[in-house]
Amino acid sequence: MSMPSIANLEPGRDAKRCPVCHSSMNRIPRRLVDFALCLFKPIQRYRCRSITCGWEGNL
């Protein structure tokens, strides 16, 4: 039984996708208020690379 290894290979396993347009996103530095929140709940802030979309938020 052979497994299609290429099909399971995900480029950039920690790469998040935009929830709106599913484009790749850039991880951006947290703001001060986010840093305060991070003390209680670890969050990552992302911004969509699509100019037309421009989604930004915490995931």
> What CA–CA distance (Å, rounded) separates 41 from 10?
27
The smaller minimum CB distance to Zn ion, of residues 43 and 55, is found at 55
Query: Can you give the C-alpha Rg of the chain in angstroms?
Result: 15
Residue 24: φ, ψ to 5°: -70, 155
How many residues interact with Zn ion (rule CB under 5 A)?
8
Interface of this chain with Zn ion, residues 1 to 59, rule: CB under 5 A? 18, 20-21, 23, 48, 50, 53, 55
Residue 30 gets which letter from DSSP?
Answer: P
Q: Which is nearer to Zn ion, 20 or 36 (CB)?
A: 20
Residues in contact with Zn ion by CB under 5 A are 18, 20-21, 23, 48, 50, 53, 55
